[in-house]
A and B are shown apart, each in its own frame.
Chain A
Amino acid sequence: MSRTTASAHERSTATPSPDRTKPSTLRIAVARTILETRIYFRERDSVVFSFLFPVVLLGLFATVFGGGETVFGEATGGGVDFARYFLPGMVAAGIMLVSFQTLAIGIAVERDEGTLKRLRGTPMPPAAYFLGKVGMVLLTGLAQVALLLAVAAVAFDVPLPGDAGSWLRFAWVYLLGTAAGTVLGLAYSSVPSSARSASAVVLAPVLILQFISGVFFVFNDLPSWLQNVASVFPLKWLAQGMRSVFLPDRLEPMEVSGSWQLAPTALILSVWLVAGLLLCARTFRWGRKGDS
């Protein structure tokens, strides 16, 4: 029998001595952001298929359709060329790739390989892990947008907005879209059952959404039932919000609804953000299925 008494157990409560200063969550979050970003740029898959992909696509679209043709040329008295028309779609797709796709695949792999379990066994605060992911998405996302805009402006002569209002609008659409993509990516990472299947399970819906949300095609050209399906998901609204930033106002009447629909865009992206947060809180696991 043990000689341990209840009082001995109470006394055992860990009381850190003065020289032990606990590192702050913020400091750890910054360290994790740096680490996550480093990993992101070292993995060829993430660099090619999420960071560079929209840039390559923009180049392709602009080159293939570039021969002086325009989108909505007759209806708007001049229209815009293809590079300019597709830029907002590529910005929107880039946001989804860097946030949703990177996190959904990356965390599924981390979970399956035991990285999450290892981290959970350290004093790292869980909040620092999530903040590190957010920091990584923001850093890589902003770098990607900067590259996209630079390529569009320099290589394809796409005029960028010059007024502060447009950039303010860009900022909130960008942040809201990134936030929604991030929490949805965290939540969706629980769907793939293994690291092996993660890419396929994540890439399929991402690809379909890009097809139906006005990223690869002019949204107006889709059958209306498909437009309605796309309207349920955030990417369509993100792309539309970006069109409101990068396309001239004379193209606004060309939208299916005849308007940029900024208020519904904010609302629907926010609903997805909140839904994603709730889903994460309920479903996020540090171990594989059955590991508890």
Chain B
Amino acid sequence: MITTTSQAVRVRGLRKAYGDVTAVDALDLDVDHGEVVALLGPNGAGKTTTVEILEGYRHRDSGEVGVLGADPGRPEPGWRDRIGIVLQTSGGLDELTVDELVRHFRVYYPAPRDPDEVIAAVGLESKRRARARHLSGGQRRRLDVALGILGSPDLLFLDEPTTGFDPEARREFWSLISSLADGGTTIILTTHYLDEAEQLADRVGIITAGHILAMDSPARIGGRDRDDVVVRWLDEGEPHSATTDRPTALVTDLAARFGGEVPGLSVDRPTLEDVYLRLIGHDTRPDTQHDTGTGGHVDERPDDRSDGPTLEATR
């Protein structure tokens, strides 16, 4: 790329209020070139406001914002050539076909991608001649992505890109985003799907009440790598589980007790969803006491369906 800054995005002390309501409050954010960052947070946490300030749509009240080295509030000529945006809501342009839209939007960019490649990349080849109004929700979203990546942006914003996708479409979308990231595109993504963040992001930022509560790789965020682990097994057909910070020791004990293979053994770190809910203050994961005694602690009990650390309970 032509320009090299140490970061693609640099935000310091960002603040934005709507009347009495503070949407973004002293938010700091750094995104490196080529990085994929996912922003998670409850509705109203300030994700979209933050992203729309970075995209140049909204004005900030105070703070420092640099996006590809420019202030999005006063973009220099050529800045928008390097940015791709997929907005949270997409509509309009109903009467035009996929082909017509992709070919038209190309005209805006100095170095656009090949329209056929883009249409193929988002998997809309069979819908080339379909008008936008006849596309399904997921197909429409893929058209939005096609228009967003058309200018081969250095930085791509995706605001809840896969809402309304079926699981297969989501998988396809993930591989598309991964291939863009492999090609060096910096990506900032907001999402409500924690599996999506885990799948795509180099780092995850959790936003609540307008600032970033935690930011780290999906494996480490919120101390996930050091967190207690749930070990599950079957004893005489009865499910048992234990929460421990020393899973290897427990599994060794179990192996000794069963004399080899432990029936129904599983060892699970807290999911990103567990960590997320704990961080935003809705801890539904039981038995996560942080006993750091030298011997570690093992809290063993028969598994009770209603009590277990199941995902269903947190949804």
Chain A residues close to B by CB (< 8 Å): 2-4, 8-9, 11-17, 19-23, 27-28, 31, 35, 38-39, 42-43, 109-110, 113-115, 117-118, 120-124, 287, 290-292
Contact = CB atoms under 8 A, between A and B. Distances in A.
B5 A121 contact: no
Contacts of B81: 14, 16, 20, 22, 123
Interface residues of B, number: 45
Nearest to A290: B18
Contacts of A39: 93, 95-96
Contacts of B5: 4, 8-9, 11-12
B92 A115 contact: yes
B69 A13 contact: yes
Interface stretch (B34-42, B53-61, B176-184, B283-291): B53-61
Interface string B88-117: 011111011000100011011111000000
Given A4-B5, A13-B69, A123 B109 contact: yes
B187 interface: no
A12 B69 contact: yes
Given A4-B7, A123-B81, A16 B70 contact: no
A15 B3 contact: yes
A140 to B, nearest CB: 15
Contacts of A122: 80, 85, 105, 108-109, 151
A9 B87 CA distance: 27
A2 B64 CA distance: 13
Given A4-B7, A20-B81, A43-B95, A121 B111 contact: no
B66 interface: yes
B147 interface: yes
A121 B55 contact: yes
B109 A23 contact: yes
Contacts of A123: 78, 80-81, 108-110, 151
Nearest to B69: A12
Given A21-B110, A31-B104, A287-B57, A14 B68 contact: yes
Contacts of A110: 92
The secondary structure that dominates the A interface is loop
A121 B148 CA distance: 9
A118 B4 CA distance: 27
Interface of B: 2-7, 10, 12, 18, 30, 55-59, 66, 68-70, 76, 78-83, 85, 87, 89-93, 95-96, 100, 104-105, 107-111, 147, 151
B148 to A, nearest CB: 9
Query: Which of B70, B81, B87 is the most central at the interface, judged by chain A CB atoms within 10 Å of its CB?
Result: B81
A118 B6 contact: no
B58 A12 contact: no
A2 B107 contact: no
Given A39-B96, A42-B95, A17 B7 contact: no
21 contacts: A8-B5, A9-B69, A14-B68, A16-B110, A17-B2, A21-B110, A22-B110, A23-B108, A23-B109, A28-B108, A31-B104, A35-B96, A38-B96, A39-B95, A42-B95, A109-B92, A118-B87, A118-B147, A121-B80, A122-B105, A291-B57
B92 A118 contact: yes
A117 B110 contact: no
A114 B69 CA distance: 27
Contact of B57 (A2, A15, A121): A121
Contacts of B59: 292
B85 A14 contact: no
Contact of B6 (A3, A38, A113): A3
B95 A2 contact: no
B93 A115 contact: yes
Contacts of A290: 18
A14 B57 contact: no
Nearest to B131: A42
Contact of B78 (A14, A43, A113, A121): A14
A74 B12 CA distance: 82
> What are the 10 A-B residue pairs with the smallest beta carbon separation, nearest first?
A12-B69, A115-B92, A113-B92, A113-B91, A42-B95, A121-B85, A20-B110, A12-B5, A123-B80, A14-B78
B87 A121 contact: yes
B87 A117 contact: yes
Nearest to B111: A20
Contacts of A20: 81, 110-111
Query: Which of A4, A14, A38 is the most central at the interface, judged by chain B CB atoms within 10 Å of its CB?
Result: A14
Contacts of A120: 57
B69 A14 contact: yes
A136 B18 CA distance: 38
B111 A19 contact: yes
Contacts of B111: 19-20
Given A118-B87, A122-B151, 7 more contacts: A4-B6, A9-B66, A16-B81, A21-B110, A118-B92, A120-B57, A121-B56
A54 B188 CA distance: 51
Nearest to A40: B95
B10 A14 contact: no
B71 to A, nearest CB: 10
Query: Which of A117, A118, A287, A291 is the most central at the interface, judged by chain B CB atoms within 10 Å of its CB?
Result: A118
Contacts of A8: 5-6
